[in-house]
Amino acid sequence: MKKVVKAIGVLSVASLMSTSAFSQISVSGYAEVGFMTGSTNGARSTGNSKNLGGESVITVAGKGSLNNGWTYSAYQNFDSDDMNNGRELANVSPMTTRAIVISPNASLNLFYTYDGVYGGEIARTAVPTLTDRVVDLTGATTLAEFIDVTSGTHAIGFDVLNVGPAGRLSVAYAPNLDATQTQSSDRLYSGTGQAAINSASGYSIGYSVTPGPIKIAAGYTKIDAKHSAAAVDPKSKTLGVTYTASDFAIGAQRTMNQDGRKIAGTILFDDTVDTFSANFAATKEVTLGATYSKMERTVQGVTSGPDTKVMTVGAAYNLGPVIASIQYEDAKDKNQASNEISAAGIDHKLTKIKVKANF
């Protein structure tokens, strides 16, 4: 009898411990399917092929209180489609975006992240979007975007909240931009992904504030490359403004990248990208959207080509947890390569249909 009582007691304590440990654990995510088709021109343009594919993301998150009165939160994403992210050229693990956040008070967060939205990345897209960001809709526009130190990178930093109306100041630092997606917390980095170990570090600062119907977001990044004496040190800055009314939102953003991109290199080139966008809620369920982007690229010692121009239009149907969308993308005079000038006639016209189910 004593053994039975003891067993019941152990099971009861184990049950309480389990409930306490996991009471604030949540699981969420989405699954989506996308179909793309269209036409392309130019020898270096993305080949014309019909594409049907899917992506699934599962997020496991937890939060709670610490013994000293602080709070914490953490999450881990499992992503079926996170390849070639940031400087890492061969991501293969499904354990992608993650973060640990410790909050001493309601206005200060201390964080570690891999691929999380912190630092200047909070201003990377400061204009309204229908579904995907312009560069993510098809991945074929060759448009440059704001350089940060958190995408595909391990970084630490802090957020200061309530700095102005709904204000957020975020500072991120990445000590090793070449540490891989699966870099251990208990081992030194020993890879050779960019021809050297610890070949670059960088910091990024972002600030967003929302006074009334207007949201303003700005970001700045500086990277110190060390992989060779000729390595370029990229710098990036962005500023965007969005005005939101009851049934529409409009925005404009300029991003300027100087001396290359996040991936290590020795070619000096500058990009200036201007984006304008607008969304309109036609009904409670249907939203219409359009964007226009123009990029000017200059490469040291090379005659510049025409500006790259990208236009998108589309509609999204919101069914609650499921969103169906169709968008058309027209890109003209794209870059010949990631570090080369644009050229006339490298164009594409693509249509994308996507269904996304959130859970």
pLDDT value of position 263: 65
pLDDT class of 191 with cuts at 50, 70, 90: low
Q: How confident is the model at residue 93 (pLDDT cuts 50, 70, 90)?
A: confident
Position 92 scores a pLDDT of 62
> Mean pLDDT lowest for which of 34-38, 61-65, 89-93?
89-93
Record: fold of 25-358: Porin (2.40.160)
Q: Is the pLDDT of residue 77 over 60?
A: yes
Helix (H, G, I), strand (E, B) or coil at 358: strand
Q: Could you tell me the end-to-end alpha-carbon distance of the chain, in angstroms, rounded to an integer?
A: 47
pLDDT for the residue 226: 76
Q: Please report which helix (H) or strand (E) contains residue 18, including its range.
A: helix 2-22
Check residue 192 and give its pLDDT.
45
* Per-residue confidence band for 4, with pLDDT thresholds at 50, 70 and 90: very low
pLDDT at residue number 184: 81
Over residues 117-126, mean pLDDT: 97
Per-residue confidence at 23, pLDDT binned at 50, 70, 90? low
Closest to 264 (Cα-Cα) out of 315, 217, 223, 325 = 223
Question: Quick one: pLDDT at residue 41?
Answer: 85
What is the pLDDT, as a whole number, of residue 323? 98
The answer on pLDDT for 232 being more than 70 is yes
pLDDT at 203 over 50: yes
| Range scoring the smallest mean pLDDT among 121-130, 255-264, 273-282 | 255-264
* Nearest residue to 63 via CA among 102, 93, 96, 118: 102
**Which of 50, 31, 41 shows the shortest CA–CA distance to 351?**
50
pLDDT band at residue 182, thresholds of 50, 70 and 90?
confident
What pLDDT, on a 0 to 100 scale, did the predictor assign at position 301? 86
pLDDT tens profile 309-339: 999 999 999 999 999 999 999 999 999 887 8
Tokens read off for 14: 């184990």
Q: How far apart are CA 293 and CA 273, in angstroms?
A: 7
Average model confidence (pLDDT) for the chain? 86
How large is the average pLDDT for residues 63-75? 95
Spatial CB neighbours of 198, under 8 Å, sequence gap ≥ 6: 175, 176, 178, 189, 226
Q: Measured between alpha carbons, how far is 63 from 55 in angstroms, rounded to an integer?
A: 27
Residues 6+ away with beta carbon under 8 Å from 27: 58, 59, 60, 61
CA-wise closest residue to 292 among 280, 278, 307: 278
Provide the strand spans (E) within the chain. 25-41, 51-65, 71-79, 95-105, 108-114, 154-161, 168-174, 200-209, 214-225, 235-244, 248-258, 269-281, 286-299, 308-318, 322-332, 347-358
Give 47's DSSP letter.
P
User: CA-to-CA distance for 357 and 340, rounded, in angstroms?
Assistant: 38
